């Protein structure tokens, strides 16, 4: 079924007629470097999302996590992000090769505000960088180097609305299908849910770094 919509916003004027404009506090919050406040947030963040796109405007948002402070600050305009073992699909990396523009969101559990950084990225294998990004004695194969163009804090409204850090329901995970079931069904794989689930759990234990 294809939905049709009669009222589509196609110009910024139409958008602003409804939304209005940001105030001075918002328009002046963006800086072009990592200051002491951004540094503090990055050093305490164990989880980020990375937005990239290829030259055909196919977009991707990828999560990355490690012990807090895993993103290293090389200087006030340069960040280094480790690329840990994954599924080798490498959406983020192949996008960066085509298109260097990148967006990051840093999260800290329990903190309702987030830090957003936009810039340009490259992939490097310099040993001195990889050594700074080692974890549990293992070096990543690649590092994503981000040149910071914009940095700003994002308000807490989305966290307040979602109750993300409040009263977690630890039973909720049982109400969604397992990753194994999703992969088998989506890929029409000739493998049982149980066998793939065992493989996934083993990989989570033995191939983190």
The SS3 call for residue 63 is strand
CA dihedral (74, 77, 82, 83) in degrees, to 10, reads -150
Query: Which residues touch 59 (CB under 8 Å, ≥6 apart)?
Result: 51, 52, 53
User: pLDDT tens digit string along 55-88?
Assistant: 999 999 999 999 999 999 999 999 999 999 988 9
Beta-bridge partners for 61: 51
pLDDT at 157: 93
Reported pTM: 0.90
Q: For domain 12-162, is the CATH number 2.30.110.10? A: yes
Q: Which residue intervals of the chain bear CATH 2.30.110.10?
A: 12-162
User: pLDDT tens digit string along 93-117?
Assistant: 999 999 999 999 999 999 999 999 9
User: pLDDT tens digit string along 140-194?
Assistant: 999 999 999 999 999 999 999 999 998 766 666 567 888 999 999 999 999 999 9
Query: Which residues touch 139 (CB under 8 Å, ≥6 apart)?
Result: 130, 131, 133
User: pLDDT tens digit string along 7-22?
Assistant: 999 999 999 999 999 9
Helix axis angle for 193-206 and 179-187, nearest 10°, is 120
pLDDT at 177: 86
């Amino acid at each position: 079924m294809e939905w049709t919509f009669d009222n589509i916003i196609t110009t910024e004027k139409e958008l602003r007629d409804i939304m209005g404009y940001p105030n001075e506090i918002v328009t002046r919050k963006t800086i072009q470097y990592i200051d002491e406040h951004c540094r503090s947030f990055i050093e305490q963040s164990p989880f980020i999302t990375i937005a990239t796109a290829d030259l055909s405007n196919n977009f991707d948002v990828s999560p990355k996590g490690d012990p807090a402070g895993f993103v290293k600050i090389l200087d006030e305009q340069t960040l280094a992000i480790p690329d840990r073992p994954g599924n080798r699909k490498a959406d983020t990396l192949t996008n960066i090769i085509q298109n260097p523009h990148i967006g990051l969101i840093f999260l800290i559990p329990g903190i309702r505000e987030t830090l957003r950084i936009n810039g340009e990225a490259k992939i490097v294998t310099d040993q001195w960088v990889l050594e700074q990004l080692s974890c549990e004695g293992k070096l990543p194969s690649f590092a994503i180097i981000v040149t910071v163009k914009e940095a700003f804090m994002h308000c807490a409204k989305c966290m307040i609305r979602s109750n993300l850090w409040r009263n977690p329901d630890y039973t909720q995970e049982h109400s969604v299908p397992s990753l194994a079931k999703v992969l088998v069904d989506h890929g029409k794989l000739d493998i049982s849910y149980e066998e793939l689930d065992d493989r996934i759990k083993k990989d989570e234990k033995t191939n983190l770094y």
